[in-house]
Structure 1
Amino acid sequence: MSDLFDTPGKPQPEAPRPLADRLRPRALSEVIGQSHVLGPDGPLGAMLTANSLSSLILWGPPGVGKTTIARLLAHESDLAFVQISAIFTGVPDLRKVFETAKIRRQNGGKGTLLFVDEIHRFNKAQQDGFLPYMEDGTILLVGATTENPSFELNAALLSRAQVIILERLNLIDLELLAQRAEKDLNRQLPLNGDAREALIEMADGDGRALLNLIEQIAAWKLDKPLDRAQLSTRLMRRASKYDKSGEEHYNLISALHKSVRGSDPDAALYWFARMLEGGEDPRFLARRITRMAVEDIGLADPQAQAICLESWNTYERLGSPEGELALAQALVYLALAPKSNAVYTAYKAARAAARETGSEPPPLHIRNAPTKLMKEIGYGAGYAYDHDAEDSFSGQNYFPDAMKRPIYYNPPERGFERELKKRIDYFVKLRSKRNAT
């Protein structure tokens, strides 16, 4: 009968370590990807060469090596590595970390690289607490964040640290990582070529996710390699990175809008699908699509706005997923419609002029004159009723008397606005004719 408890002093077998931990690089030269920052001409490579490492903010998606890089920077700079997470660390814990770093520096002259995971989770006061210890050299701060530092970190903290942007791993990087895993496992993954490509795609640029998937596959007892379909039934595809309230939301809606503006229906459909797959509310997309019609197409195609509103109404009646097809149809129509921001530009110019001219009154002849007194002082005097004029056009001035006549709306020779431009030119000629008589 085996003992219920381990015998004191008896050597115990080492617990198995996860594949991601076993493959953790031991030198910066072993890090896969991020050559744009780790190479000799990259910011981190240059810092290490000059032996002048400064505080850093490592910004990038999950699974690209932020923790690993921080640990290796400490090792190559001969600094003590201390790791904390903003999620689990409070003010008392921070005080202990700072005090320990101060003692370490005083006693042995050894500096401390403090790695703060999810640093954007700290509030403003907690972020401010790092500043004096960064300034006096007690710590060299390396913060890691998946969120845009411009939005999430204090300006004071950002001014004392260099932001290093880490990129999601590309397909070549992920394949190299898979080969490194196979070497550690001492066998090939039981996948055919198509299934292997599917596996790399499932990782979606996340090295840690890839290694976790590989670890699952390595545990399967298989008689022959799996194909793509068989792999897909055994593994769930990793959810795409998408935060409906964060930077990714704004990046993708920007890509969608610019694809429509650039008359690329395929790209527009792709970003539309990406946002839906990420869980975006179709009503938000319906609103934004309608905005595109108003802002980027305008009167070049007067039908565009109506089509967007109809597609929105169709979605409200059908719901998901059928109603999303109506939004997709509106999106393709917008992408292929003639583009014009002439009214949008004119509107902004008119608003600017309205602010600049302040309280300039309308000329007397177009003011309202509901009382006898107002008529006596000239309100409405000399107003020409356009329907009674030749061609139903009087050519009178409708701007303030002190204001030089501007031109805000200048339609391009595109779509329906080509016809509107003809009308404008026609009225310009009539106005010149009326004013000359």
Structure 2
Amino acid sequence: MADLFDRADLAADAPRPLADRLRPATLADVIGQTHVLGPEAPLGVMLASGALTSLVFWGPPGVGKTTIARLLAHETDLHFVQISAIFSGVAELKKVFEAARQRRRAGQGTLLFVDEIHRFNKAQQDSFLPHMEDGTILLVGATTENPSFELNAALLSRAQVLVLERLPLADLERLTQRAEKALDRRLPLDGPARESLQEMADGDGRALLNLVEQVAAWEVDGTLDTAALAQRLSRRAALYDKSGDAHYNLISALHKSVRGSDPDAALYWFARMLEGGEDPRYLARRITRMAVEDIGLADPQAQAVCLQSWQTFERLGSPEGELALAQALIYLALAPKSNATYVAYKGARRLAKDTGSHAPPKHILNAPTQLMKDQGYADGYAYDHDAEDGFSGQDYFPDGMDRPDLYDPVERGYERDLKKRLTYFAQLRAKRQGG
């Protein structure tokens, strides 16, 4: 099986990056992804049964998507073709499909690996379908974005999505040891510095091997500690795409940490998003939404705290203003929680959609003309301020509609008092209407 250097017509003794030299020769050599490659895992079962299907690998960079695809072709005797959606267009796809047809006539199957497949538009994705269906190609796509949002339903229905995960520290240590064996030298790092180097890779095996290659080239006496390593190497930026999957995953983690009354976790995810370059104004808006959705009237001050913190950020700017947003987060995390208003609002919207043609009862309609009075407008309206206790108990829903119970306050925070008021008015309404 040809590797990258063979295809590039490079000499056997040409300089090769460590990551390429350590590229696994068999699936058994792949470090990590046992949940996909193990004997009882999806790919293990497919290979054992000789029934490999089209696949989509979803995962972050440097976790083995390309390597696994190449090895799948090798182990199933398929011709391996690799293209990138970034550099390929319709003309190249036509050439790839035609070459695959020629191979098929000669009895050779084709595994087409498409890197960054989510970058193809709908028409380009649709072009794969007939060739997948008639067996011209076995498609293996790779994407760092959520396939549910980025790939056509028709394509997804013909492929199995397998999620590849970031490499944990244990796997990164195994990869480090493999690299040291290939380099025939141990890295000049003490234990904590070694672990720090692996953490810098942030779960990316290719990034780790690049870092290892740098460190191995240093001429140092003795071993380096964490501080010396940090001085020589800059930490790799955390994976974060402000418009992609990581963005939505982290804001979800932040929101659920606040809802779960965990200020420490909320601050952590808040900091992760800021470190990734997120716009603090976006976070200010989302934090205010949390106050409305998850706290509501259990603490009516929560919204005011968020708006004041947002305003403080606008006055102070960055980086000082982020502290005001952090303060709002802590307040929300520790505030009593209620989604009663949110639930009531959604219920009201559903009810309005189902009963959108019902007119208000005539007794609560204004009657500025005699004709309207003759039609019964305002007839029988009870002015609440004239009623006992300032409450008439009249029905304000459309005629013939059963009264719904939409707002159900919780027994927490200020809503505990609102629940008492709601119960009081319900009892008074039943008494007035019964009378």
Q: TM-score range by the shorter chain?
A: over 0.9
* Pairwise CA distance, 1:13: 7.8
* Structure 1: unaligned runs, 5 residues or longer: 1-11
Alpha-carbon distance in 2 for matches of 1:374, 1:115: 73
Alpha-carbon distance in 2 for matches of 1:392, 1:88: 73
Other structure's SS at 2:253 match: helix
* Pairwise CA distance, 1:337: 0.8
Alpha-carbon distance in 2 for matches of 1:97, 1:189: 44
Other structure's SS at 2:318 match: coil
The change in CA–CA distance for 1:103 and 1:318 in structure 2 (over 3 A counts) is same
* Pairwise CA distance, 1:204: 0.3
Alpha-carbon distance in 2 for matches of 1:164, 1:130: 19
Alpha-carbon distance in 2 for matches of 1:44, 1:273: 37
Partner of 2:379: 381
Aligned pair partner of 2:293 in 295, 314, 338:
295
Other structure's SS at 2:82 match: strand
Residues 30-76 of structure 1 deviation map (CA, whole Å, 9 limit, x = unaligned): 10000001001111000000011111111110000011101111111
* Pairwise CA distance, 1:372: 2.5
* Pairwise CA distance, 1:375: 2.3
Letter in 2 for 1:36: H
Partner of 1:8: none
Aligned pair partner of 1:339 in 334, 337, 340:
337
Partner of 2:97: 98
* Pairwise CA distance, 1:373: 2.3
Range that drifts further, 24-33 or 112-121: 112-121
* Structure 2: unaligned runs, 5 residues or longer: 1-10
* Pairwise CA distance, 1:426: 1.2
Aligned pair partner of 2:415 in 417, 421, 435:
417
Residues 94-153 of structure 1 deviation map (CA, whole Å, 9 limit, x = unaligned): 2222222222222x4111111111111222222222222212211111111111111111
Partner of 1:66: 65
Range that drifts further, 52-61 or 92-101: 92-101
Partner of 2:47: 48
* Pairwise CA distance, 1:359: 2.3
Residues 371-400 of structure 1 deviation map (CA, whole Å, 9 limit, x = unaligned): 232223322122222112211111111111
1:401 aligns with 2:399: yes
Post-superposition, which runs of at least 4 consecutive aligned residues in structure 1 deviate over 4 A? Answer: none
Alpha-carbon distance in 2 for matches of 1:180, 1:47: 28
Partner of 1:392: 390
Alpha-carbon distance in 2 for matches of 1:122, 1:312: 39
Matches within 5 A, 1:97-136: 97-106=96-105, 108-136=106-134
Identity of aligned residues (%): 76
Alpha-carbon distance in 2 for matches of 1:73, 1:431: 72
Alpha-carbon distance in 2 for matches of 1:399, 1:126: 53
Alpha-carbon distance in 2 for matches of 1:22, 1:257: 43
Other structure's SS at 2:114 match: strand
Range that drifts further, 306-315 or 134-143: 134-143
Partner of 1:254: 252
Alpha-carbon distance in 1 for matches of 2:165, 2:231: 30
Alpha-carbon distance in 1 for matches of 2:328, 2:74: 56
Aligned pair partner of 2:204 in 203, 206, 209:
206
Other structure's SS at 2:268 match: helix
Partner of 1:192: 190
Query: What's the TM-score once normalised by structure 2's chain length?
Result: 0.95
Partner of 2:267: 269
Alpha-carbon distance in 2 for matches of 1:13, 1:371: 98
1:88 aligns with 2:81: no
Letter in 2 for 1:208: R
* Pairwise CA distance, 1:309: 0.5
Other structure's SS at 1:322 match: coil
Alpha-carbon distance in 2 for matches of 1:284, 1:244: 11
Residues 386-424 of structure 1 deviation map (CA, whole Å, 9 limit, x = unaligned): 112211111111111211112111111111000011111
Matches within 5 A, 1:275-286: 275-286=273-284
Q: CA RMSD in A?
A: 1.4
Alpha-carbon distance in 2 for matches of 1:285, 1:13: 52
Alpha-carbon distance in 1 for matches of 2:325, 2:16: 49
Aligned pair partner of 1:170 in 159, 168, 171:
168
Alpha-carbon distance in 1 for matches of 2:253, 2:12: 53
Residues 220-271 of structure 1 deviation map (CA, whole Å, 9 limit, x = unaligned): 1111211111111111111111111111111111111111111111111111
Query: What's the TM-score once normalised by structure 1's chain length?
Result: 0.95
Partner of 1:15: 14
Range that drifts further, 155-164 or 308-317: 155-164
* Pairwise CA distance, 1:189: 0.6
Alpha-carbon distance in 2 for matches of 1:88, 1:319: 40
